[in-house]
Amino acid sequence: MLQLVQANPQILQTESVAPVARVASATTTPACQAPVAAAPSQVSSNTSKSNLDDWNWEDLDDETDWEDSDNTIHEDPFDMESLPSDLRQKIISFTSPLDALHIAMFPDLRQDAYSNIVWDSFLRSFKESNEERVDLDHQLAIISAATPSMTVREKFGRLFQPKFVADQSMTVWLDKETGAKCYMLVARTLLVANQSYWRWIPCDRLRPPLVAAELLPRTNQLEISGTMASTLLSQGSTYAAYMVFKFKVESTLIDRVQESVVSIGEYRDTNLICFGAVCGNNFEQPRKRRDGWMEIKLGEFSTEDGDDSQLHIQVILNTGNQLLKGLIMLGIEIRVAKWRASQDASDHEKS
């Protein structure tokens, strides 16, 4: 045991839990049966498996997921398989979920890395560090009721995947680092006042399946707006709102400056946004997500303890004398704000 720790001291380091998110992340690129234009602006992406955003939790039992960039790992360099199973599980439980997934790359250790003992330990740690932000027991009860046969590892991963709320007006998931609740206001919720301007496109490959909306060339000015109770969000958190979209070829919105407003209580954050690169660096610009969609930041806000104000989000589109066309809208994500010092950070996300 001492030799094992000396040979691999990081195995006993306790890291902050970093479970998967996403929004709408960690899925295959959704085509939604519509031709999509190339990204019109300078965007960045990060497809390395450096954090749990990059793992598809529902497919972790597929051995093809455990092949690295060069070769599949077949041997355990630390000879952990010579230890009793209960000791191996104890050692792995002192690491992090990401470490456990890496350890599971060794076939002889996969059963221990996937054991309920290990993932129960991760759940307890996550609950202790985030008990003021989310009712974890309630979330797990919902997941267990939907799929009783899930292992603890599968339940843990499902916490950080988007799920519809009861009326399907939005999806909800937990942020992988902070445990804060995140949401997406879906297109049908945002566009209820002007549905005649849109054509609905099912996106069955997304998890959960969503319905996107393609903007039809019927107006040159349009407002997209959504509201939700701030009490649904995790108190004492700083959030950012992002519009999730794609462009079809020849969109009239590319390289035009638009306006977004995010308000809560007496607070109001107004921003100029640009869907293309020509506008320059003084405007919020879109970036490509891992799921193949684009997103653009609309604004930030903070929740205060006991604040029961409504959150309002508006995107005001105007193309002058041209008709609006070429926009495919998926929804507006509201997730924990990160990378405030760098607008070019590629990890959300989405989150």
Which strand (E) or helix (H) includes residue 97?
helix 97-103
- Quote the pTM value: 0.68
Mean pLDDT of the chain: 74
Tens of pLDDT, residues 314-329: 998 888 888 888 899 9
Nearest-angstrom CA–CA distance, 186 and 333: 9
DSSP string, 130-199: HTTT--HHHHHHHHHHH-TT--HHHHHHHHTS-EE-TTSSEEEEE-TTT--EEEEEEHHHHTGGGGGGEE
pLDDT of residue 342: 34
Between CA 32 and CA 270 the distance in angstroms is 31
Alpha helices in the chain (DSSP H): 2-7, 85-93, 97-103, 110-113, 116-130, 136-146, 152-159, 187-190
pLDDT at 113: 94
One-letter identity of residue 128 = E
Tokens matching residue 314:
């508006």
Distance CA 243, CA 200 (A): 17
Residues in the chain: 351
Domains of the chain with CATH codes: 2-30+49-161 (no CATH), 170-336 (2.60.120)
pLDDT in tens, the chain (351 residues): 333 333 443 333 333 333 333 333 333 334 465 445 544 443 333 333 334 444 444 444 433 333 333 444 445 555 777 889 999 999 999 988 888 989 999 998 999 999 999 999 998 888 777 665 566 777 787 778 777 888 999 988 888 888 888 788 899 888 877 778 899 999 988 876 678 889 999 988 887 889 999 988 888 888 899 999 998 888 888 999 999 999 887 777 777 788 999 999 889 999 999 887 677 777 888 899 988 899 999 999 998 755 678 999 999 888 888 888 889 999 999 999 975 433 333 333 333
